[in-house]
Each structure stands twice: as C-alpha cells, then as structure tokens.
Structure 1
Amino acid sequence: MKIAPPKLPSSLTDLNIKEAFLEDNYVSGGIVTSFDLDEVLEDKVIFDQIHFQHISMEGTQFHQVEFIDCLFEKCDLSNVDFGDAVFHRVEIRNSKLLGSNISQSRLTEVKIEDSVANYTSISFSKLKKVAFNRTTLNRADFIEASFDKVSFEKCELDGANFTETSLENIDLSSNTYEQLTVSMEKLADCTVSTEQAIGFAKSLGLIVK
C-alpha cells in the first residue's frame, strides 16, 4: 500500500515555536527542534508543513490539534493527549508514543515506523491509509476503531485490543504476539499465519491436535 508522504518544502528554516505561538495558533513551514510550550494547550492548534526533530512533547495535552504534512523524527510523544486530533499526511519515525492518547481522532495517509507505541490508545478513531511498520504496539487499544486500508508489518502486538473493530482485509501474519483481544465475529477475511490461526482456535475452546 502506497502512503502519500508529507508535502514538505525542499528547504525549511529553523522555527522558534514559542515566537510562532505568540502570533497565531497556526504554525507552518519550518523545522522544530525544541518544544517549550505549556503542557496544557487549551486552544485549537494547527501544525502545517513542520519537521519535528528530536523534540519532546511528553505529557502535553492538546484541546484540539491538526497535523498536516508533518514529519516526526526521533521524537518523544509519550503520554501526549492527542484526543480528537487530525493527522493528514504524517510520518512518525524512530519515535516514542508510550501511553499516548490518539482516541476519537482521524488519521489519513499516516505512517508510523520503527517506533515504540506500547499502551497507546487509538480507540474510536477513523484510520484510512495508515501503515504501522516495525513498531511495538504491545497493550495498545484499537477498540471500535474504523479501518480502511490499514496495514501492520512486522509489529509487536502482544496484548493489543481490537474489540469491536473489523479486521477484514487486515494481514497480521508478519506480526508477533502471544495474546490478542478481538471480536471473533469481526475476524472474517483477516489474514493470519498457521500458528496464529491455531491460537485463535484455542481461544474458541477448540482442541487442536
């Protein structure tokens, strides 16, 4: 599946995010290497064509936030509250999202790769053309999420919760987990490995010889 990359200019200048916020809650066109804003942002914020590098947003709470054509590289987004957010043409690489809240959000043309996202909540969100590559998603929640062209490639999914989420056309065969929470009636047309299929059969109480 081809994911459209962020549309970033070929050259971006360093951006002082604090000065940018003094002018407007719309921040665009720059490289951000320091995120020294208050932990609670009560107004709606829009980031457009921003390359975040080595920044920490840990513990930040957004009231509403939109990321459009943004790249996160080696960032710490742990325990950030992105609830009710919009992510459009966004890439997150080599970053941490431990315990982040991305619930009730809209993610379109998003790629998360080589990252750690254990205990992240993406429940009740709408995901369209989203790829998770080589990312640890242990104990992550995808409860009642809507998937449209979503892929998981070589991810760790142990303890992930997909309750009431349709896994139709989802390929889990390259991913690893010991236990997965799913709604059995939502498993139709999900692709799994032979070993994974045996695990699902056992969870149904079947005896596999």
Structure 2
Amino acid sequence: MNLPLITDQDYTKVDYTKTELPKAECHNCTFVDCNFSATQLSNNMFIDCEFVNCNLSNVNVKHTTFKDATFNECKLIGIVFTECNPFLMSFAFIKSNLSFSSFFECKLNKTVFDTCYLENVEFSKANLSQAIFKDCNLFKSTFNNTNLEKANFKTSYNFYINPQLNSLKLAKFSKEGALNLLKIYQLDID
C-alpha cells in the first residue's frame, strides 16, 4: 500500500475526533496537544515522530507502523499495541499513562518507559529484553512468559513478576524490588 508521504510537519491542538487524520506515511512529524481519542489510526505509518501531551486513548492501531516513535506526557489508555505492524516497531514512553493497554507478544527490546503509569498493562509473551522501566508504577500489570533479560526495574514499583514464569537473567532490581520477586513463596521476611 503506497501512502502519501508527509515530512517535517508540526500539528498543534488538532482534534482528530472531528477532523480525520488522513492515511499517510509521516516522517519526523510532531503532534502537540492533539486529541486522537477513539479514532482510527489503522494502516498509518509514524516514523521518527513525536507525540507531546496528546490523548490517544482507545485508538485503533491495527496495522499501524510505529518506528522510533516518542510519546511524551501522553494518555495512551486501552491501546492494543499487539495489532500494530510488528516490523521495526520501536517506541519511547515518557511521563505517559498506558493503563489497560496490551503489548502481548510484542517485540520491544530496549524500549524505554520513563516515569510512566502502567496499571493493568498486558506484557505477557512480550520480548522486553534490555527494556528500561524508570520510575514506573506497574500496579497489576501482567508478566507471563515474558523475556525480561537485562531489563532494568531498579526504580519502578508495584510490580509482581513471577521468576518461575519469566526470563529474568541479568535483569536489574533494587533490593526492595528483588524482595518483591519472592512474593510467590509467601515468605515472612523481616
């Protein structure tokens, strides 16, 4: 599918719930204070694009390509990232809310989650090797058969990761976080 090419454009305060974003291949574009809530982003391409203070909650991302996309202070609630085009998928999430989203089976090596709220996020069967979870709240997020090798959780909290069901080789945790890994054993530790 050949999409029209849009490069080096800045979009500010556009409400895409009223004005539909045209299907396009966007390169090096910036979206600031835009509302995409519950819109169709399916079959679009976002390469080297940045989203700042945008609402992307419940968007449809079926077959959408995100390569080197950065989300800064965005609301990304309920997005099924599993439906994205997996080829070259890469993100950085900074000060964003991704609650109730799904990364089931996604390949997210080296992905950065910096100061994000990640309540009830589905990470099962994802490859998060070398991912960085910096100052993230992972309350009730699910890790099951997830590759977390060399991932960094040193400053994150409220996570429950079963070491018997996930690959944790060389993953980094604070002392408190490492004790959290022992919850499965119901130990009484003073």
Which TM-score applies when normalising by structure 1? 0.76
C-alpha separation in 2, matches of 1:110 and 1:171: 16
* Alignment counterpart, residue 176 of structure 1, candidates 132, 136, 157: 157
Query: What letter is aligned with 2:6?
Result: V
The question of 1:50 aligning with 2:29 is answered yes
The question of 1:94 aligning with 2:77 is answered no
C-alpha separation in 2, matches of 1:169 and 1:142: 16
Whether the aligned pair in 1 keeps the contact of 2:113 and 2:132 (CA below 8 Å) is yes
Identity %: 23
- Structure 1 position 98, deviation (Å): 1.2
Q: Could you list the per-position Cα deviations for residues 117-150 of structure 1 after superposition, in whole angstroms to 9, with x for gaps in the alignment?
A: 1111111111133211011111111111112431
C-alpha separation in 2, matches of 1:84 and 1:163: 25
Whether the aligned pair in 1 keeps the contact of 2:73 and 2:95 (CA below 8 Å) is yes
* Distance change in 2, residues 1:149/1:86 (3 Å): farther
* Alignment counterpart, residue 45 of structure 2, candidates 55, 66, 72: 66
The equivalent residue for 1:134 is 115
The equivalent residue for 1:30 is 9
- Structure 1 position 86, deviation (Å): 2.4
Aligned length: 182
The equivalent residue for 1:194 is 175
- Structure 1 position 27, deviation (Å): 3.0
Q: Which structure has more strand as a fraction of its residues? A: 1
Which TM-score applies when normalising by structure 2? 0.83
- Structure 1 position 38, deviation (Å): 4.3
